[in-house]
Amino acid sequence: MWQQFQPALGEPADWLGDWHPLVEQLGSANGLGALGDLSAAMRATPVHDLPSLCNFLVAYQQKILLPLELPAIQRAFDHTSRHEVRELISFDRELADEPALQSFAGASRRIGQTELLKLRPLRDERIIRRYLDAVDRREAHAWHTLVYGLTLSLYSLPLRQGLLGYGYQTTRGFIYAAAKPLQLSELSCRTLLEELCGNLPAAVAQLIAQRPVTA
């Protein structure tokens, strides 16, 4: 089960790094404090031990990852695949009004804009050029999930594999950010990761099955 959820070397999830962008703002010294802030935003139990970390991660999956982040990645992937630039930019603006994302909007935009700039050599791609221009004019935000989905599509990488890789890495990032202050063993981290990621293949399969059929 452990190997099933590890992204293979070279997968598109690698450009996000080992840590989810939300985790990057935690910092080694203030990790639990920041996790506590996010827990409060999601109305989860403050993180102070292994059970509360588990509660936090379950809340994150149920309120952020599964209903918001993975669908956003998929929608960006589909808009890019269909060369729907205006629709992608419009969706980008919609996400700015999503209350559940406000507590880490800054981190999302920072990572997304950084990664979008790395695609600047591909400016011959119309969607990259127009999306970059919209961000430069502050008419779009370049959320990290949208840039991730766009990247999957541009490089013709499998959507299912990309969604699984993203879900795995976000969960792993939060676990290992809390591992040191909570003094969690490697076995505890791996066991928790396996348990939490057990639902991802079915959730991703359902999400993909619900995609609108286009002519």
Domains of the chain by start residue, with CATH: 17-209 (1.10.4190.10)
Interval 192-198 mean pLDDT = 92
Give pLDDT, residue 39.
Answer: 59
Give pLDDT, residue 35.
Answer: 56
Interval 29-42 mean pLDDT = 52
Least confident stretch, 36-40, 113-117, 180-184, 191-195? 36-40
Give pLDDT, residue 174.
Answer: 84
192 or 40, which is more confident? Answer: 192
Q: Which two tokens stand for residue 109?
A: 């935009």
CB 58 within 8 A of CB 196: yes
Q: Which two tokens stand for residue 215?
A: 């002519």
Can you give the pTM of this predicted structure? 0.83
Query: Over 80: is that where the pLDDT of 9 sits?
Result: no
Amino acid at the residue 212: P
Non-local (6+) Cβ contacts of 6 within 8 A are: 168
Angle between helices 126-136 and 85-95 (to 10 degrees): 40
Interval 104-113 mean pLDDT = 83
Angle between helices 105-118 and 144-154 (to 10 degrees): 30
- In tens, the pLDDT along 137-184 reads 999 999 989 999 999 998 888 999 889 988 888 888 888 878 888 898
HEC readout, the chain: CCHHHCCCCCCHHHHHCCCCHHHHCCCCCCHHHHHHHHHHHCCCCCCCCHHHHHHHHHHHHHHHHHHHHHHHHHHHHHHHHCCCHHHHHHHHHHHCCCHHHHHHHHHHHHHHHHHHHHCHHHCCCHHHHHHHHHHHCCCCCCCHHHHHHHHHHHCCCCHHHHHHHHHHHHHHHHHHHHHHHHCCCHHHHHHHHHHHHCCHHHHHHHHHHCCCCCC
Q: Which two tokens stand for residue 4?
A: 């099933």
Q: Average pLDDT over the chain, rounded to whole?
A: 80
Give pLDDT, residue 166.
Answer: 87
Give pLDDT, residue 42.
Answer: 62
**Separation in Å, CA 30 to CA 25, 27, 37, 47, 178:** 9, 5, 11, 12, 10
Least confident stretch, 82-96, 99-113, 127-141? 99-113
- In tens, the pLDDT along 170-181 reads 888 888 878 888
How far is residue 53's CA from residue 15's CA, in Å, rounded to a whole number? 26
